[in-house]
Structure 1
Amino acid sequence: MRVEFPGFGRILVDGKVYEGDIVIYPSGKVGERKKWLSKRKHGTSHKLDPDELREYLTEEFDVLIVGTGAWGKLSLLPESGELVANKEVIEKPTGEAVELFNDLRGRRKVLAIFHITC
Protein backbone atom coordinates (compact mmCIF):
# COMPACT_ATOMS: atom_id res chain seq x y z
CA MET A 1 0.00 0.00 0.00
CA ARG A 2 1.34 3.41 -0.98
CA VAL A 3 -0.13 6.74 0.17
CA GLU A 4 0.61 10.10 -1.45
CA PHE A 5 -0.43 13.61 -0.44
CA PRO A 6 -0.07 15.74 -3.56
CA GLY A 7 -1.51 18.74 -1.75
CA PHE A 8 -4.47 20.44 -0.16
CA GLY A 9 -7.75 18.57 -0.58
CA ARG A 10 -6.52 15.30 -2.13
CA ILE A 11 -4.89 12.12 -0.94
CA LEU A 12 -4.05 9.04 -3.00
CA VAL A 13 -4.03 5.45 -1.78
CA ASP A 14 -2.51 3.07 -4.31
CA GLY A 15 -3.35 5.61 -7.01
CA LYS A 16 -7.01 6.02 -5.99
CA VAL A 17 -7.91 9.66 -5.29
CA TYR A 18 -9.84 10.61 -2.16
CA GLU A 19 -11.13 14.15 -1.74
CA GLY A 20 -12.12 13.86 1.90
CA ASP A 21 -10.46 12.90 5.16
CA ILE A 22 -9.71 9.18 5.45
CA VAL A 23 -8.81 6.51 7.95
CA ILE A 24 -6.50 3.64 7.03
CA TYR A 25 -6.79 0.60 9.26
CA PRO A 26 -3.96 -1.85 9.96
CA SER A 27 -5.68 -4.39 7.67
CA GLY A 28 -5.37 -1.94 4.76
CA LYS A 29 -9.06 -1.04 4.70
CA VAL A 30 -9.65 2.61 3.82
CA GLY A 31 -12.66 4.41 5.27
CA GLU A 32 -14.09 7.89 5.42
CA ARG A 33 -13.27 9.90 8.52
CA LYS A 34 -16.44 10.41 10.57
CA LYS A 35 -15.55 14.00 11.35
CA TRP A 36 -19.17 15.03 11.89
CA LEU A 37 -18.97 13.28 15.28
CA SER A 38 -16.36 15.80 16.41
CA LYS A 39 -17.98 18.75 14.63
CA ARG A 40 -21.34 18.12 16.32
CA LYS A 41 -19.74 18.41 19.77
CA HIS A 42 -17.10 21.06 19.22
CA GLY A 43 -18.39 23.09 16.28
CA THR A 44 -15.31 22.09 14.28
CA SER A 45 -13.86 18.93 12.86
CA HIS A 46 -10.37 20.15 13.81
CA LYS A 47 -10.63 18.58 17.28
CA LEU A 48 -10.50 14.79 17.25
CA ASP A 49 -13.09 13.85 19.89
CA PRO A 50 -13.05 10.55 21.84
CA ASP A 51 -16.45 9.57 20.37
CA GLU A 52 -15.01 9.88 16.88
CA LEU A 53 -11.75 8.12 17.73
CA ARG A 54 -13.64 5.16 19.26
CA GLU A 55 -15.17 4.56 15.82
CA TYR A 56 -11.71 3.70 14.47
CA LEU A 57 -10.48 1.48 17.31
CA THR A 58 -11.82 -1.68 15.71
CA GLU A 59 -8.52 -3.37 14.84
CA GLU A 60 -5.42 -4.05 16.87
CA PHE A 61 -2.63 -1.52 16.21
CA ASP A 62 0.73 -0.42 17.60
CA VAL A 63 0.96 3.12 16.25
CA LEU A 64 -1.66 5.81 15.66
CA ILE A 65 -0.61 8.37 13.08
CA VAL A 66 -2.71 11.52 12.89
CA GLY A 67 -2.15 13.60 9.76
CA THR A 68 -3.12 17.01 11.10
CA GLY A 69 -3.73 18.68 7.73
CA ALA A 70 -1.66 20.71 5.31
CA TRP A 71 -1.21 23.41 7.96
CA GLY A 72 -1.60 21.25 11.08
CA LYS A 73 -5.11 22.32 12.15
CA LEU A 74 -6.41 18.93 13.38
CA SER A 75 -5.51 18.03 16.96
CA LEU A 76 -6.13 15.04 19.15
CA LEU A 77 -8.02 16.15 22.26
CA PRO A 78 -6.41 15.12 25.57
CA GLU A 79 -9.42 12.92 26.35
CA SER A 80 -8.89 11.16 23.02
CA GLY A 81 -5.26 10.62 23.87
CA GLU A 82 -6.35 8.80 27.01
CA LEU A 83 -8.07 6.18 24.82
CA VAL A 84 -4.75 5.30 23.20
CA ALA A 85 -2.44 5.97 26.14
CA ASN A 86 -0.86 2.51 25.77
CA LYS A 87 -0.04 3.07 22.08
CA GLU A 88 2.50 5.19 20.26
CA VAL A 89 0.73 8.31 18.95
CA ILE A 90 2.31 10.55 16.34
CA GLU A 91 0.72 13.80 15.16
CA LYS A 92 2.30 15.52 12.16
CA PRO A 93 1.18 17.69 9.26
CA THR A 94 -0.34 15.37 6.67
CA GLY A 95 2.57 15.47 4.23
CA GLU A 96 4.99 14.31 6.92
CA ALA A 97 2.45 11.85 8.35
CA VAL A 98 2.05 10.21 4.93
CA GLU A 99 5.82 9.74 4.63
CA LEU A 100 5.94 8.20 8.10
CA PHE A 101 2.97 5.95 7.30
CA ASN A 102 4.69 4.66 4.16
CA ASP A 103 7.85 4.00 6.15
CA LEU A 104 6.17 2.17 9.06
CA ARG A 105 3.33 0.35 7.26
CA GLY A 106 5.16 -2.86 6.42
CA ARG A 107 6.90 -3.14 9.78
CA ARG A 108 4.22 -2.19 12.31
CA LYS A 109 0.45 -2.26 12.73
CA VAL A 110 -0.51 1.31 11.89
CA LEU A 111 -3.85 3.05 12.28
CA ALA A 112 -3.81 6.35 10.39
CA ILE A 113 -6.21 9.28 10.31
CA PHE A 114 -5.50 11.82 7.59
CA HIS A 115 -6.99 15.32 7.47
CA ILE A 116 -6.42 16.51 3.92
CA THR A 117 -7.30 20.18 4.04
CA CYS A 118 -6.14 22.85 6.49
Structure 2
Amino acid sequence: MNIDDQITQALNAEVKRLEPLLIDNKGLFNRLLPIYRGGMRRWVWLVNGLALITAGLMFWSGFEFFTAQQTEQQIFWGICLIVAVQMQVAMKNWLFMEMNRSSLLRELKRIEIALIQLVKGP
Protein backbone atom coordinates (compact mmCIF):
# COMPACT_ATOMS: atom_id res chain seq x y z
CA MET A 1 0.00 0.00 0.00
CA ASN A 2 1.47 3.35 -1.01
CA ILE A 3 1.34 6.61 0.91
CA ASP A 4 -1.58 7.99 -1.13
CA ASP A 5 -3.80 5.07 -0.15
CA GLN A 6 -2.81 5.48 3.49
CA ILE A 7 -3.66 9.18 3.41
CA THR A 8 -7.01 8.46 1.74
CA GLN A 9 -7.87 5.82 4.32
CA ALA A 10 -6.87 8.12 7.17
CA LEU A 11 -9.00 10.96 5.79
CA ASN A 12 -11.99 8.66 5.30
CA ALA A 13 -11.65 7.39 8.86
CA GLU A 14 -11.47 10.97 10.12
CA VAL A 15 -14.61 11.92 8.17
CA LYS A 16 -16.50 8.96 9.63
CA ARG A 17 -15.35 9.91 13.12
CA LEU A 18 -16.32 13.60 12.77
CA GLU A 19 -19.60 13.11 10.90
CA PRO A 20 -21.73 12.61 14.05
CA LEU A 21 -20.27 15.77 15.56
CA LEU A 22 -21.13 17.80 12.47
CA ILE A 23 -24.65 16.42 12.23
CA ASP A 24 -25.25 17.35 15.89
CA ASN A 25 -24.80 21.09 15.20
CA LYS A 26 -27.38 21.44 12.45
CA GLY A 27 -30.30 23.78 12.92
CA LEU A 28 -30.77 27.24 14.32
CA PHE A 29 -32.32 26.14 17.62
CA ASN A 30 -29.41 23.80 18.39
CA ARG A 31 -27.11 26.79 18.06
CA LEU A 32 -29.42 29.28 19.75
CA LEU A 33 -30.25 27.43 22.96
CA PRO A 34 -26.70 27.34 24.43
CA ILE A 35 -26.51 31.14 24.61
CA TYR A 36 -29.38 31.06 27.12
CA ARG A 37 -27.34 28.73 29.35
CA GLY A 38 -23.89 30.28 29.02
CA GLY A 39 -22.09 32.87 31.10
CA MET A 40 -23.75 35.74 29.23
CA ARG A 41 -27.30 34.41 29.76
CA ARG A 42 -28.44 37.45 31.78
CA TRP A 43 -27.32 39.78 29.01
CA VAL A 44 -28.99 37.58 26.41
CA TRP A 45 -32.29 37.69 28.30
CA LEU A 46 -31.95 41.45 28.75
CA VAL A 47 -31.25 42.03 25.06
CA ASN A 48 -34.18 39.80 24.10
CA GLY A 49 -36.45 41.79 26.38
CA LEU A 50 -35.19 45.05 24.91
CA ALA A 51 -35.67 43.61 21.41
CA LEU A 52 -39.32 42.88 22.22
CA ILE A 53 -39.81 46.41 23.55
CA THR A 54 -38.06 47.81 20.48
CA ALA A 55 -40.32 45.72 18.22
CA GLY A 56 -43.35 47.25 19.91
CA LEU A 57 -41.85 50.71 19.50
CA MET A 58 -41.10 49.95 15.87
CA PHE A 59 -44.68 48.89 15.09
CA TRP A 60 -46.13 51.81 17.02
CA SER A 61 -43.86 54.28 15.20
CA GLY A 62 -44.79 52.74 11.87
CA PHE A 63 -48.50 53.02 12.66
CA GLU A 64 -48.13 56.63 13.78
CA PHE A 65 -46.08 57.42 10.67
CA PHE A 66 -48.76 56.15 8.31
CA THR A 67 -51.64 57.77 10.21
CA ALA A 68 -49.99 61.17 10.81
CA GLN A 69 -51.82 64.13 9.31
CA GLN A 70 -49.04 66.71 9.23
CA THR A 71 -45.67 66.54 7.52
CA GLU A 72 -43.80 67.41 10.74
CA GLN A 73 -45.45 64.48 12.49
CA GLN A 74 -44.58 62.15 9.62
CA ILE A 75 -40.95 63.26 9.77
CA PHE A 76 -40.84 62.74 13.55
CA TRP A 77 -42.43 59.28 13.43
CA GLY A 78 -40.38 58.32 10.38
CA ILE A 79 -37.15 59.13 12.23
CA CYS A 80 -38.44 57.22 15.28
CA LEU A 81 -39.19 54.26 13.02
CA ILE A 82 -35.71 54.33 11.46
CA VAL A 83 -34.06 54.54 14.89
CA ALA A 84 -36.18 51.65 16.21
CA VAL A 85 -35.32 49.51 13.18
CA GLN A 86 -31.61 50.25 13.65
CA MET A 87 -31.85 49.35 17.34
CA GLN A 88 -33.60 46.09 16.46
CA VAL A 89 -30.93 45.24 13.89
CA ALA A 90 -28.15 46.00 16.38
CA MET A 91 -29.67 43.79 19.08
CA LYS A 92 -30.32 40.89 16.72
CA ASN A 93 -26.79 41.24 15.35
CA TRP A 94 -25.40 41.05 18.89
CA LEU A 95 -27.47 37.93 19.62
CA PHE A 96 -26.21 36.20 16.49
CA MET A 97 -22.62 37.22 17.28
CA GLU A 98 -23.07 35.75 20.77
CA MET A 99 -24.45 32.57 19.21
CA ASN A 100 -21.40 32.34 16.94
CA ARG A 101 -19.04 33.01 19.88
CA SER A 102 -20.63 30.20 21.85
CA SER A 103 -20.41 27.83 18.90
CA LEU A 104 -16.78 28.76 18.23
CA LEU A 105 -15.87 28.30 21.89
CA ARG A 106 -17.45 24.83 21.85
CA GLU A 107 -15.45 23.89 18.74
CA LEU A 108 -12.22 25.16 20.29
CA LYS A 109 -12.87 23.03 23.36
CA ARG A 110 -13.36 19.99 21.12
CA ILE A 111 -10.06 20.70 19.38
CA GLU A 112 -8.35 21.14 22.74
CA ILE A 113 -9.65 17.77 23.94
CA ALA A 114 -8.59 16.13 20.68
CA LEU A 115 -5.08 17.58 21.02
CA ILE A 116 -4.78 16.41 24.62
CA GLN A 117 -5.83 12.91 23.57
CA LEU A 118 -3.37 13.02 20.69
CA VAL A 119 -0.50 14.03 22.97
CA LYS A 120 -1.35 11.39 25.58
CA GLY A 121 -1.73 8.71 22.96
CA PRO A 122 -4.13 5.74 22.88
User: Quick one: higher RCO (CA 8 Å, sep 6+), 1 or 2?
Assistant: 1
TM-score by length of 2: 0.22
Superposition TM-score, scaled by structure 1 size: 0.23
Question: Would you tell me which structure has more helix in proportion to its own residues?
Answer: 2
The structure with more strand, counted as a fraction of residues: 1
